[in-house]
Amino acid sequence: MNTLMIGLRLIHIFSAVVWAGGNFTMSTFVGPTAKAVGPDAAKFMQRFVLHSRFSNYIGIAAILTALSGLAMYGYLFKGIAPLDTGVGLSLTIGGIFGLSALGMGFATQKRSSDRIAAILNAAMAASAPPNPEQMQEMAALQEKMARSGATLNILLGLALIGMTLSEYFAF
């Protein structure tokens, strides 16, 4: 029994569940519901963005997923996987999708969430609601997050397929 691989795999699986599940929940349920509710959802979303630290937890889970995955990949293949095997090819492609999701998530979701939090904090410091320009910027950022959230669902789903089905691609 290889306790290192068991530990890495558990970290990889549980952090991936948090990352992919969090993204799926936000982009499929919370975001669209808040948008449909309209201005009445503002207090909930403000509290969520400023106090839940959700984006921090998702970012940590994403990094743990990537680092544990890269460590397992390196341990299993001593570098680059043999791409002439089904397992090697499947894990490589799944890893590429996962790392692409990591980069996109930090480039879009994290930056947008941080900017929205900065706008809300500035408005709270001024004891006033966000001004029309800030509201417009937040709406654009939320729309960007919705689009990238849908793309992240696809990338994470493809990574999941590559990882979970790799043992069945024996050639």
Query: Residue 123 sits in a domain of what CATH number?
Result: 1.20.120
Question: Tens digit of pLDDT for each residue in 18-53?
Answer: 999 999 999 999 999 988 998 888 888 888 888 898
Distance CA 56, CA 113 (A): 10
State which residues form the domain around 81: 3-168
pLDDT for res 164: 92
Domains of the chain: total:
1
Average pLDDT, the chain: 92
Quote the pTM value: 0.88
